[in-house]
Amino acid sequence: MAATAQPNVKNVWLGGVEPMKASYGKLMMWFFLVSDTFTFSALLVSYGLVRFSFPAYAGKVADFVSSPAYWPIPEKVFDAMPFMHGIHAPLVFVGIMTFILIFSSVTMVLAVEAGHRMDRAAVEKYMLWTILGGATFLGCQAWEWTHFIHGTDSGTVVKEIVDGTWITKTVFGANLTENQYGPAAFADFFFFITGFHGTHVFSGVVLNYLVFYRTSTGMYERRGSYEMVEKVGLYWHFVDLVWVFVFTFFYLV
Amino acid sequence: MSVVEANLGHDVHSHDEHEHHELNFWRQYIFSEDHKVIAKQYMITGIFWAVIGVAMSVIFRLQLGFPGANLSWLKPFLGGWITETGALDPNFYLALVTMHGTIMVFFVLTAGLSGTFSNFLIPLQVGARDMASGFLNMLSFWFFFVSGLLMFVSIFIETGPAAGGWVIYPPLSALPQAHMGSEMGMTLWLASMAIFIMSSLLGSLNYVTTVINLRTRGMTFTRLPLTIWAFLITAVLGIISFPVLLSAALLLIFDRHFGTSFYLSEIYINGEALPNVGGSPILFQHLFWFLGHPEVYIVLLPALGITSEIIATNSRKPIFGYRAMIASIMAIAFLAFIVWAHHMFVTGMNPFLGSIFMFLTLIIAVPSAVKAFNYITTLWRGNIVFTPAMLFSIGLVSLFVSGGLTGIILGNSALDIQLHDTYFVVAHFHIVMGAASAFGFFAGIYHWFPKMFGRMLNGTLGQIHFWLTFVGVYLVFMPMHYIGIAGFPRRYYQFTSFDFGKSFTDLNMFVSIAAIFTFFAQFVFLWNFFYSMFKGKVATQNPWNSNTLEWTTPVNVGHGNWEGEIPAVYRWPYDYSKPGSPVDFIPQNIPHSQTLESNFPHENEYIAQEKEIEAQNYNDQFASH
């Protein structure tokens, strides 16, 4: 908070000033995000390692059927839409989710920009849109998880050894120990990584709400700075960026 | 001396910058946001854990040195962990080894060392009133406290604490039915470490932002004391490596409690197949050592920073190769992230990949040698003052060299495959990272005790403590190399089934006696520490005639560190024995315009910069706007 105005400073690294014109809070957010990057990277690298220890599906895409023997093709798994039961719509729903989340980043940028202009009403408006976008994303994710957990109508017939004897059973949907779409590890990582990301989005929505609330009570106006909007903005953009990677690794490749 | 005093006198004005409000006992000593109090909290907690951690090692050393000896006299402490026959329960032996490692690495040498000295020295040496965020700093300590509490509780539960080694490799750690230590003990271990990681993150964020944003006027990065450089880079290492351990731990928690198979595949227990398929235990090792190797430098770098400062001060010479020291810290930190697989040469890794990791590992010898030689050349022909802090610093250099040499041996994959998981490895890392960092811890306490408590530690007791510890440490770990070369595996409860194992019983006995001796030598320090805190000789403002800013504060440093203005900085911190100067040290806050007689030609150019420094915006956290 110290030294918001820095008159006539020629050498910003000479001490006594904030060299990057960023408050300690903003720097902390940046370094926290660096740290969090490594948390997610570790998870995504683990996903990659386990994924490539399984064989990929070798046949024609059109003939694809789920089996624990090979890694599934994502667009064959994530092809459901709410209210459109039985329609094959590969990656449409997750595409909409992604668009909503990225659009909430745009409204966040607008909120930050409004904060620079000290325009309280506009900050309130755009924070609200951002919160709405985040909440919608979480709602979509809840639906997607529910569908993933309940599975398709027909399920997958799985043959496995239990206590030394081969048994055949039909598996519907997915949990952490077995799933109808492919190897158990596929669902394990799906739940863990999208869940971990979802937790981040949830914290982001909570933080955004806090900032919205404080904006609307006029706290930042009295303080004379909307820097808190910038800080939660950094976090929000980061969460979006992480989703881009999660989306790429789980749904596209 | 006159130069120094003249400058100290001139900043008595503007005394009313912040009103002094009295805080109640809880806010002042328990939930304090003052970096000095938090540093002391870390130090006392660290010392508490060190006593427990080292005492544990003494107990398992008893078993190693005197296999099957009657330890029933320990029953009052260990209860059921001593069997009917008076032997140490093998399960508890494993738990002791695990807890010793965990406690010493994380609680003593990470939190204890960084927590104490980063907190204490960063604001004082960069010239700040406090840490960037006192509140987060307080949270950092209390997260650490809670994490320690969980680990402490785990020692007393019926199934014992975690027992799979401090590296907690799955599947052993992932399956509660694998070992009693993998039950509740492991759960508490993971919970404790998750909280510890949060504590470490909050601390590190504070250290880094304080160094970047809150340096006083004139304190450029190339005028920072090497302690600060070391703490800064250590914090960056922590910020980048600990989150990977967090990921690893979270995945392990899921494997343990929610039936996932991240690390598990094709396991039989008592002839029964587990349903887990598709995971990889090697994955955990990769994730763990991506933290684990930088962790070694998180432990060691602060000790090296402290040593740099103490050796320069007590040699009365500028540190040799200041910029090379900074570069070597950064080089070590960078290399720390790309060598982790040298802990995994025996996991069936592709030998070609192994040779790449071997190559990268051996490069670390270069910056390490730069540091070692810079210490030696700083000492060379110095007016050495053998304070206890100086002795421990020189001791650290000795340990760093002798432990580093065995590191070169172990870094070679061909040799490591032979020596892996033997006592050679144990001896290596105990010397280079354990004992060396502990020496840094001791050196730091002896050096900055007067600043922390306003009193001096007893120097004679300090000297006695040093020699007992120094001799003791070498007596413990030197013979251990031979035990390791002979093939004695680490973590074994007993290794006397083979004849060649028996032939090393004498040496093991010797090591154990030396360990007990070294353990008891530490009570000299503990007595000195607690006695001097209350009854020691009252310290002067600058007892070691040092240049850094902390010695310009009052003897008993109050809240906000400096009464009146924070001093500006005009020079680097190592102007000791400068030719032409009437005094043998010129503190950082003395302008070059006051030391014309000793300025080097290029330093006269800095006189013009003084105005710019004084015009620099005043970055005082406590100043009212």
Report the residue of chain A nearest B273, measured CA to CA: A163
Angle formed at CA B232 by CA B228 and CA B238, multiple of 5 degrees: 145
**10 Å Cβ neighbour count for B256?**
21
B622 within domain boundaries: no
pLDDT 10s digits, B448-492: 999 999 999 999 999 999 999 999 999 999 999 999 998 899 999
B551 and B480 within one domain: no
pLDDT at B5 over 50: no
Closest-CA distance of chain B to residue A156, Å: 18
**Per the structure, how many domains does chain B have?**
2
B516 and B605 within one domain: no
* Nearest in space to B31 (alpha carbons), one of B19, B23, B43: B23
Q: Half-sphere exposure of residue A216, counting CA atoms within 13 Å on the CB side?
A: 10
What is each CA distance from A128 to A107, A120, A125, B383, B608, in whole angstroms?
9, 12, 5, 67, 53
Q: Which three-class secondary structure state does DSSP give residue B195?
A: helix
B550 and B524 within one domain: no
Whether residue B287 lies within 8 A of chain A, CB to CB, comes out as yes
pLDDT at B10 over 80: no
Task: List CB contacts of B26: < 8 A, sequence separation 6 or more.
Answer: none
Q: Which three-class secondary structure state does DSSP give residue B291?
A: helix
B19 within domain boundaries: no
Q: Which of B504, B535, B566 is the last residue of a domain?
A: B535
Contacts of A27 in chain B (CB under 8 A): 132, 208-209, 212-213
Position A4 scores a pLDDT of 44
Q: Which three-class secondary structure state does DSSP give residue B250?
A: helix
- What mean pLDDT comes out for the span B264-269? 89
Report the residue of chain B nearest A31, measured CA to CA: B205
Buried b (16+ CB within 10 A) or exposed e, A133-171: bbbbbbebbeebbebbeebbeeebebeeeeeeeeeeeeb
B620 within domain boundaries: no
Q: Counting Cβ atoms within 10 Å, is residue B19 exposed (0-12), middle (13-18) or buried (19+)?
A: exposed
Buried b (16+ CB within 10 A) or exposed e, A39-62: bbbbbbbbbeebbebbeebeeeee
* Nearest in space to B436 (alpha carbons), one of B205, B28, B94, B104: B104
- What mean pLDDT comes out for the span B322-328? 97
Cβ proximity of A90 and A78 under 8 Å:
yes
B589 and B441 within one domain: no
Q: Do A35 and B239 touch (CB under 8 A)?
A: yes
User: Would you mind telling me the total number of residues written for chain A in this entry?
Assistant: 253
B514 and B565 within one domain: no
B109: which 2 tokens? 């040498």
Buried b (16+ CB within 10 A) or exposed e, B391-422: bbbbbbbbbbbbbbebbeebbbbeebeebbeb
B514 and B551 within one domain: no
pLDDT 10s digits, B216-256: 999 999 999 999 999 999 999 999 999 999 999 999 999 99
B434 and B574 within one domain: no
Closest-CA distance of chain B to residue A223, Å: 12
Calpha distance B483→B506 (Å, rounded): 10
Mean pLDDT over each residue of chain B, to the nearest integer: 92
A7: which 2 tokens? 């008159």
B392 and B443 within one domain: yes
B285 and B215 within one domain: yes
pLDDT at B623 over 80: no
Strand ranges, E, within B297-437? none
A174 strand-pairing partners = A179
**In chain A, what are the domains?**
17-56+63-252 (1.20.120.80)
Whether residue B242 lies within 8 A of chain A, CB to CB, comes out as yes
Which of the residues A12, A13, A43 would you substitute to probe the B interface, choosing the one with the greatest number of B C-beta atoms within 10 Å? A43
pLDDT 10s digits, B141-156: 999 999 999 999 999 9
pLDDT at A5 over 50: no
pLDDT at B13 over 80: no
- What mean pLDDT comes out for the span B543-550? 96
User: Would you mind telling me the total number of residues written for chain B in this entry?
Assistant: 625
pLDDT at B2 over 50: no
Write the residue in A15, A189, A192 that is nearest to B218 by C-beta.
Answer: A15
- What mean pLDDT comes out for the span B412-422? 94
B608 within domain boundaries: yes
pLDDT 10s digits, A86-121: 788 889 999 999 999 999 999 999 999 999 999 999
- What mean pLDDT comes out for the span A227-237? 96
Side chain identity at residue B26, one-letter code: W
Task: List CB contacts of B352: < 8 A, sequence separation 6 or more.
Answer: none
Closest-CA distance of chain A to residue B16, Å: 18
Q: What is the DSSP code (8-state) at residue B273? A: E
Whether residue B619 lies within 8 A of chain A, CB to CB, comes out as yes
B526 and B595 within one domain: no
B349 within domain boundaries: yes
Q: SS3 string of A113-182?
A: HHHHCCCHHHHHHHHHHHHHHHHHHHHHHHHHHHHHHHCCCCCEEEEEEECCEEEEEEECCECCCCECCC
- The percentage of residues in chain B with a pLDDT greater than 70, rounded to a whole number, is 96
B611 and B502 within one domain: no
> How confident is residue B439, by pLDDT bands cut at 50, 70 and 90?
very high
Q: What is the domain range of residue B592?
A: 544-615
Calpha distance A24→B208 (Å, rounded): 9
Side chain identity at residue B61, one-letter code: R
Contacts of B209 in chain A (CB under 8 A): 24, 27-28, 31
Write the residue in B205, B219, B260 that is nearest to A28 by C-beta.
Answer: B205
pLDDT 10s digits, B16-73: 444 456 778 888 888 999 999 999 999 999 999 999 999 999 999 999 999 888 999 9
Q: Do A3 and B246 touch (CB under 8 A)?
A: no
Q: SS3 string of chain A?
A: CCCCCCCCCCCHHHCCCCCCCCCHHHHHHHHHHHHHHHHHHHHHHHHHHHHHCCCECCCCHHHCCCCCCCECCHHHHCCCCCCCCCCCCCCHHHHHHHHHHHHHHHHHHHHHHHHHCCCHHHHHHHHHHHHHHHHHHHHHHHHHHHHHHHCCCCCEEEEEEECCEEEEEEECCECCCCECCCCHHHHHHHHHHHHHHHHHHHHHHHHHHHHHHHHHCCHHHHHCCCHHHHHHHHHHHHHHHHHHHHHHHHHHC
Q: Which of B476, B500, B535 is the last residue of a domain?
A: B535
B12 within domain boundaries: no
Query: CB pairs below 8 Å between A and B: how many?
Result: 160
pLDDT 10s digits, A36-89: 999 999 999 999 999 999 999 988 888 888 888 899 998 888 988 888 887 888
Position A155 scores a pLDDT of 82
- What mean pLDDT comes out for the span B305-311? 97
* Nearest in space to A196 (alpha carbons), one of A237, A236, A241, A242: A242
Cβ proximity of B261 and B245 under 8 Å:
no
Position B17 scores a pLDDT of 43
Position B625 scores a pLDDT of 46
Position B216 scores a pLDDT of 94
Calpha distance A42→A36 (Å, rounded): 10
Beta strands B268-269 and B272-273: pairing type? antiparallel
Alpha helices in B35-112 (DSSP H): 35-65, 75-78, 90-102
ipTM: 0.93
Alpha helices in B66-133 (DSSP H): 75-78, 90-102, 113-126
Whether residue B226 lies within 8 A of chain A, CB to CB, comes out as no
> How confident is residue B624, by pLDDT bands cut at 50, 70 and 90?
low
pLDDT at A6 over 70: no
Whichever domain contains B59, its CATH number is 1.20.210.10
Task: List CB contacts of A185: < 8 A, sequence separation 6 or more.
Answer: A50, A51, A54, B261, B262, B278, B279
Q: Which of B535, B568, B589 is the last residue of a domain?
A: B535
pLDDT 10s digits, A120-151: 999 999 999 999 999 999 999 999 999 999 98
B5 within domain boundaries: no
B576 strand-pairing partners = B585
B18 or A191, higher pLDDT: A191
Contacts of A28 in chain B (CB under 8 A): 132-133, 136, 205-206, 209
Cβ proximity of B385 and B314 under 8 Å:
yes
The H helix count followed by the E strand count for chain B is 21, 2
Position B502 scores a pLDDT of 77
Q: Which residue has the tokens 């932002």?
A: B209
Helix or strand (DSSP H, E) at B423: helix B423-429
Whether residue B588 lies within 8 A of chain A, CB to CB, comes out as no
B240: which 2 tokens? 């980048």
* Nearest in space to B64 (alpha carbons), one of B477, B492, B500: B492
Calpha distance B204→B109 (Å, rounded): 15
Cβ proximity of B285 and B245 under 8 Å:
no
B588 within domain boundaries: yes
B322 and B400 within one domain: yes
Q: What is the DSSP code (8-state) at residue B160? A: -
Strand ranges, E, within B244-367? 268-269, 272-273
Write the residue in A18, A161, A176 that is nearest to B258 by C-beta.
Answer: A176
Cβ proximity of B310 and B547 under 8 Å:
no
Whether residue B280 lies within 8 A of chain A, CB to CB, comes out as yes
B224: left (phi over 0), alpha (psi -120 to 50) or beta: beta
Calpha distance B525→B466 (Å, rounded): 9
Cβ proximity of B295 and B214 under 8 Å:
no
Q: Do A50 and B133 touch (CB under 8 A)?
A: no
The model's pTM is 0.94
